[in-house]
């Protein structure tokens, strides 16, 4: 198998309908599921955090309460730190027409894949059109902490100030593992050779 990176807009799209949504969404032709480790390697920022509150997202007020900003208490920046312990992740929940939903429940813990906006807020990073919100199960945390080989776990900048139940970072990052160390870049998909051949011949038939 060879790996080809294509921006979404460059490939044909198939329709996929979320069961709860009236609007449909598009995923790139040839979409294949990526593992958590693959998505971690492509995300710029990965945190372990707890959801503290939900508020309206500016410019998506009409979407409330389906669309919301999540106020998150960061326990550990697994990748892309350092960050404040108190961050706002905008445009969470479900936005009509999107293929993924990024739901959080207040007081529950998550692993979040994020990208940074200029004004200090963060966006969910739906790497490979998959959810940016992952349950912070021990298995998922261990997976990232032990097998990913991420080198720079960082505590939030203002831990002592406003995070009494600070959990900190996983203790033993596996420095021999390298699977998840990669250039941050969202919006990438993996295609198999077969699909490329298929696409090539599909195009050929059109001519």
Ligand X SMILES: *[C@@H]1O[C@H](CO)[C@@H](O)[C@H](O)[C@H]1NC(C)=O
Our finding on whether 55 is near ligand X (CB under 6 A) is yes
Is residue 162 part of the contact set for ligand X (CB under 6 A)?
A: no
Residue 117 binds to ligand X (criterion: CB under 6 A): yes
Member of 4, 181, 186, 195 binding ligand X (CB under 6 A): 181
Q: Is 35 in the site for ligand X (CB under 6 A)?
A: no
> Are residues 121 and 150 in contact, defined by beta-carbon separation less than 8 angstroms?
no
In contact, 112 and 132? CB cutoff 8 Å? yes
The CA-based dihedral angle spanning residues 171, 175, 178, 180, taken in that order and rounded to the nearest 10 degrees: 20
Output 35 or 59, the one with its CB closest to ligand X.
59
Residue 41 CA, distance from chain mean position = 11
- The rounded distance, in Å, linking the Cα atoms of 100 and 192 is 23
Task: Please give the size of the binding site for ligand X, defined by CB under 6 A.
Answer: 18
In the complex with ligand X, the residue whose CB is nearer, 19 or 164, is 164
Between 23 and 55, whose beta carbon lies closer to ligand X? Answer: 55
The gap from C-alpha 46 to its chain's centroid, in whole angstroms, comes to: 8
For position 58 contacting ligand X by CB under 6 A, the verdict is yes
DSSP class of 69: E
Task: Kindly identify the residues of this chain, within the stretch 118-157, that bind ligand X according to CB under 6 A.
Answer: 118-119, 121, 146-147, 151-152
């Amino acid at each position: 198998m060879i790996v080809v990176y294509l921006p979404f807009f460059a490939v044909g799209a198939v329709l996929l309908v979320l069961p709860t949504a009236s609007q449909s969404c598009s995923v790139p032709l040839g979409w294949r599921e990526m593992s958590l480790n693959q998505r971690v390697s492509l995300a710029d920022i990965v945190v372990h955090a707890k959801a503290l509150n939900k508020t309206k997202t500016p410019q998506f007020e009409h979407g409330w309460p389906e669309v919301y900003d999540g106020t998150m208490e960061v326990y550990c920046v697994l990748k892309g730190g350092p960050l404040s312990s108190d961050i706002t992740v905008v445009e969470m929940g479900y936005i009509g027409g999107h293929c993924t939903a990024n739901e959080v429940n207040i007081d529950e813990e998550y692993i979040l894949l994020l990208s940074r906006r200029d004004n200090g807020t963060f966006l969910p990073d739906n790497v490979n059109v998959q959810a940016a919100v992952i349950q912070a199960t021990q298995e998922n945390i261990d997976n990232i902490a032990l097998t990913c080989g991420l080198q720079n776990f960082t505590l939030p900048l203002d831990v002592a100030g406003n995070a009494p139940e600070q959990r900190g970072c996983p203790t033993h990052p596996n420095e021999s593992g390298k699977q998840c160390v990669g250039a941050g870049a969202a919006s990438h998909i993996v295609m198999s050779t077969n699909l490329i051949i298929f696409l090539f011949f599909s195009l050929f038939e059109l001519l």
